[in-house]
Amino acid sequence: MQLRELQWFTTLAETEHITEASIRLNISQPTLSRALARIERKLGVQLFDRHQNRLRLN
């Protein structure tokens, strides 16, 4: 995992929303969603549970 990806993961965990995190990080929501999927694929685990537009750490 790269430092940038770790920062993105941390912001997602803090905000619990992809859109809010993408605004804070000044990147597009699709870019952040794809990055999260890529990180989860690399690690072979689902990092967040997705419930009603919210992300919860597993």
Q: What is the pLDDT of residue 9?
A: 95
Q: What is the pLDDT of residue 52?
A: 86
Angle between helices 3-15 and 18-25 (to 10 degrees): 130
Q: What is the pLDDT of residue 23?
A: 98
- For 24-37, give one letter per residue: b (16+ CB within 10 A) or e: ebeeeeeebeebbe
pLDDT tens, residue by residue, 5-58: 999 999 999 999 999 999 999 999 999 999 999 999 999 999 999 988 899 998
For the chain, list the domains and their CATH numbers: 3-57 (1.10.10.10)
Q: What is the pLDDT of residue 55?
A: 94
Please state the separation of Cα 22 from the chain's center in Å.
Answer: 9
- pTM, two decimals, is 0.87
Q: What is the pLDDT of residue 10?
A: 96
